[in-house]
Amino acid sequence: MKNRGFIERFNAKGVGGWIKTPEGGPSKVLVRINGDNYECVASIVRADLEGFGRGFSMSLPGKYLGEAYLTIEVFDESGLSLFNSPVKAVISEEEKNKVLFGNFGWLFLKNDSNRSLDYLTGKIKSPENLCDLWERLCVSRKEKADKLGADLVTLVAPEKEVCCQCYLPEGYVISDSRPLRLLTNHFYDKREIKFCVPDFSGIEEGDLYFKGDTHWTFYAAYLAFLEVLKVSSLSEVVSVSGYEEFKHKNSYQASDLLVKTDAVNIEKIKHVSISGQRYIEVYNNKKVNTGRRQEYLNTSPSNFRVMVWHSSSMDWMKPFVIDAFKNSCFVWGQRIDWDEVARYSPDLLIVQTRERFIVDVPSDF
């Protein structure tokens, strides 16, 4: 059980947020930073918390300013942790320098290890043999998938900077010769490869990406999954529920760009999920990021199996994939282990990556 309150700010300037308090009055708060306990009082009156709770704020003790990251937990006076506790605070100046501040509050990624913005704007040219390397990889993967009786679809999530370029600051222009554009043109007449890049034209930018995060929204992920099903060999026998049929609720997330700033580090989002009565998780190895494996069993009338090798973008597509298939398996990673594919024996094999990763062509196990 948790207190319904939220940690809203966790950065070099301090820790702040709100807690549900008895009768909406002041209450003590315990803030734990890297295991060290500090006390403060939630006494800030806020219009949005009237009669319900109080806000709290404390400066970050100076001894932590040299750290790169901090683990922060917050508890109410009864010992209940706040809803999103613990959080990971980004203190590193190097990480802060990865945020490009766009127009109207939009944030973008820069100075990352993939140098994605430099490739997107043409500052760095695409490798000359990129298309050949990707075709060789896709052909090899298709041959292996065909032997295992699986239909292979490669899905690339386009970058936020491309889909929301109208919010980029002055001086940043997306190049027509960026790597993914070249690959899309290269595979245009090679339909048997099933190299899928979703077409988001005509969709409002705010429906596609979060202002403070690099990832697409649930709606964008849903549209992308529709395109995957459309190009797959299962298009006539597998379908996904309508978008409005899923559970929708307002929530908050610690967006991956916002957490690198000294402002409020969470943003309000529309969270989408599948009813818990319709599926069960049958396996989870509990790994974080690369190597994480999760398997689900659904009550879907479809009697087909899907296996997905993916990046972090899949977290927003997962409910729709689970909804459409009887059995689904998700493995976080860009390098396919074909022995694992053979053991799971999927009807559809989805390999999902992000635009920023495609200049590094993976090699499978």
CB count within 10 Å of CB 153 equals 26
What pLDDT is attached to residue 233? 97
Read off the tokens for 293: 């494996």
298 pLDDT band (50/70/90 cuts)?
Answer: very high
Q: How confident is the model at residue 260 (pLDDT cuts 50, 70, 90)?
A: very high
What was the pLDDT predicted at 21?
Answer: 87
- For the record, the structure tokens of 268 come out as 């309000």
Q: Residue 14 forms beta bridges with which residues? A: 11
The answer to whether 150 and 341 have CB atoms below 8 angstroms apart is: yes
Please tell me the distance from the alpha carbon of residue 89 to that of residue 261, in angstroms, as a whole number.
Answer: 10
The mean pLDDT value of the chain amounts to: 94
User: What single DSSP character describes residue 59?
Assistant: P
Report the phi/psi class of residue 283: left, alpha or beta, with left for phi > 0 and alpha for psi in -120 to 50. Answer: beta
Distance in angstroms (rounded) separating the CA atoms of residues 161 and 325:
32
Give the domain ranges of the chain: 6-91, 129-165+182-357
Model pLDDT, residue 38? 97
Write the DSSP symbol of residue 277: T
**Structure confidence at residue 276 (pLDDT):** 67
Tens of pLDDT, residues 6-63: 999 999 999 999 999 888 889 999 999 999 999 999 999 999 888 889 999 999 999 9
| Fold of the 6-91 domain | Immunoglobulin-like (2.60.40)
Amino acid identity, residue 36? D
Q: What angle do helix axes 179-187 and 130-147 make, rounded to 10 degrees?
A: 50
pLDDT (tens digit, 9 = 90+) per residue, 62-84? 999 889 999 999 999 999 999 99
CB contact at 8 A, 363 and 168:
no
- What value does the CA radius of gyration of the chain take, rounded to a whole number of Å? 22
* Structure confidence at residue 163 as a pLDDT band (50, 70, 90): very high
Whole-angstrom distance, CA of residue 247 vs CA of residue 267: 19
What's the distance, CA 329 to chain centroid? 18
The tens digit of pLDDT for each residue in 166-203 reads 999 999 999 999 999 999 999 999 999 999 999 999 99
pLDDT > 80? residue 3: no
| Helical residues (DSSP H) of 97-244, grouped into ranges | 116-120, 130-147, 160-163, 179-187, 205-208, 218-231
**What torsion, rounded to 10 degrees, do the Cα atoms 279, 270, 315, 144 define?**
80
344 sits in which H/E element = helix 338-344
pLDDT over 70 at 224, yes or no: yes
pLDDT digits (tens, 9 = 90+) for 83-99: 999 999 999 899 999 99
Residue 300 has pLDDT above 90, yes or no: no
